[in-house]
A and B are shown apart, each in its own frame.
Chain A
């Protein structure tokens, strides 16, 4: 019966689907190079349009009110959200889009389940439905938690729940157990109650897996959930006998897995480590306890302007603080003023500066910072000792020397920008509070470090105007 839904399209619909997923593959391939990425995205979008139109033309498609209503509402939300979203909020936007995708999979599975119950329900449809339901539900809730964390709706610090791993394991066993039970009894009217229970338990698992993960690891988590949603879409394709879903979902699943591993490598983290360990909750032993005030040197914008204006070379290390303060234009102005005085200004980009790989490049490009001035971490680090002043703007963990010096630190081994090697360091930050990893930064207490406590944008503007007066 189900096959009849797709059959009327026959060869034509299959060929159109082949065309559409070929465009996806070309689109993804082009997305791996900066020169072709934009075109690649367009090509993939065209592929999607072909797939959607093909499906709408299939025989058996009905309830047009629901379809048109859903398309209009969803399309409008998508357009408005994409236009309104600030560049700084891109990462959480991606998390949200990923979440709704997972949610759609879960709901479609539920529909499929209801449709199959009572009739002939072959196991080869039943198993993918359960799989899609579980992964879709985990992805929906996990992505929402990731969104909430990035949007600061819930604390970004790792939240440790006692017995976390045990609870997760029990949930997983329960989910698998119920699925197996449903699978064995799929012939005689499997209970919808149990199916809903599976959805709920998977939702719980999605929440509990992502909640304890620190904000710094969120990009990797979102990427992983993205791959998971792809796989669940492929599973839905198996149950619906839809080749476009199978291919597109699988490709997202496998390419997303590779992408996740590359991201994790860039942060010197491993995926299992992120999922099951989080950043340790307590501050590292060697870094000194939290609480007591440690001595630091605080300066004004004028002091900072003087150090910068008479420097030979300046390296700006931008971080998420710059992004939140929308300071990219102000920082560009400051750099322009310095360059007018003959100071060499470059930007050191940590692979995960901002909240996602590539996030900082996007923001600085928006402020018209020339591409050549953005220097990657590996290239800038050897130059640090001959850098007069390193200016850290709203970055924290990616500059923490503890990653190199303190083997007990939760971020030990994470590659950092070695600003501590510069002759002088200026840190523009609103307070001494710890960053995403939730640990103290030894950099702030070095003798060569001057703290400028201010909003990144305001500080950059003040420095720029002070420099012009010199």
Chain B
């Protein structure tokens, strides 16, 4: 892919990112940050690619750590986000419990 095409994609993606986040309730700031955090774990793909042509101990080590770091970012990121959001989905009000609010 040539540089101009990549640059076009970059600019359009930037606008998508700006548009997709519109007035988020404060409650969701942390989970959403955590989710986008997991998404930038995509750099692990870079680790997989450089592992392909890594030669010598140093480069192999670099690739290994990069892949491990990326995997932590992805797996941990999505799982932690899921745990946070799980707390929200369980908000079934218990009608019989206690007296009703005014």
Interface residues, chain A, with chain B CB atoms under 8 Å away: 3, 5-6, 24-25, 27-29, 31-34, 37-38, 40-42, 44-45, 48, 51-52, 55-56, 58, 60-63, 66-67, 69-71, 73-75, 77-79, 81-83, 85, 87, 90-91, 93-94, 97-98, 100-101, 103-105, 107-108, 110-112, 114-115, 124, 219, 222-223, 226, 229-230, 232-234, 236-238, 240-259, 262-263, 266, 336, 339-340, 342, 344, 351-352, 356-359, 361-362, 365-366, 368, 370-373, 376
User: How far is A83 from B98 in the complex, measured between Cα atoms in Å?
Assistant: 33
CB A292 to nearest CB in B, in angstroms, measures: 37
Which residues of B have CB within 8 Å of A74? 44, 67-72, 75
Interface residues of chain A: helix, strand, loop or mixed (majority)? helix
Task: With A70-B65, A70-B67, A253-B17 given, name 7 new contacts (CB 8 A).
Answer: A52-B48, A63-B52, A77-B71, A101-B37, A101-B40, A115-B50, A358-B28
Write the chain B residue with the least CB distance to A369. B91
User: How far is A100 from B48 in the complex, measured between Cα atoms in Å?
Assistant: 16
Q: List 9 A-B contacts (CB under 8 A).
A: A44-B38, A97-B80, A98-B40, A226-B33, A237-B6, A242-B45, A250-B10, A370-B93, A370-B94
State whether B37 touches A226 (Cβ < 8 A).
Answer: yes
CB A227 to nearest CB in B, in angstroms, measures: 8
User: How far is A282 from B52 in the complex, measured between Cα atoms in Å?
Assistant: 54
State whether B98 touches A51 (Cβ < 8 A).
Answer: no
User: How far is A87 from B72 in the complex, measured between Cα atoms in Å?
Assistant: 18
Write the chain B residue with the least CB distance to A100. B69
State whether B73 touches A104 (Cβ < 8 A).
Answer: yes
State whether B86 touches A115 (Cβ < 8 A).
Answer: no
Which residues of B have CB within 8 Å of A352? 26
Listed residue (A34, A48, A97, A373) with the most chain B CB atoms within 10 angstroms of its CB = A97
CB B85 to nearest CB in A, in angstroms, measures: 4
- Interface size (B, Cβ < 8 Å)? 85
Which residues of A have CB within 8 Å of B58? 114
The 8 Å CB contact of A94, one of B10, B62, B64, B80, is B80
Listed residue (B1, B48, B89) with the most chain A CB atoms within 10 angstroms of its CB = B48
User: How far is A41 from B35 in the complex, measured between Cα atoms in Å?
Assistant: 6
State whether A98 touches B37 (Cβ < 8 A).
Answer: yes
Write the chain B residue with the least CB distance to A63. B51
State whether B14 touches A254 (Cβ < 8 A).
Answer: yes
User: How far is A207 from B82 in the complex, measured between Cα atoms in Å?
Assistant: 30
A248 with B31: in contact, given A60-B52, A66-B60, A254-B17 (CB under 8 Å)? Answer: no
CB B37 to nearest CB in A, in angstroms, measures: 5
User: How far is A247 from B6 in the complex, measured between Cα atoms in Å?
Assistant: 9
CB B44 to nearest CB in A, in angstroms, measures: 7
State whether A223 touches B33 (Cβ < 8 A).
Answer: yes
State whether B28 touches A32 (Cβ < 8 A).
Answer: yes
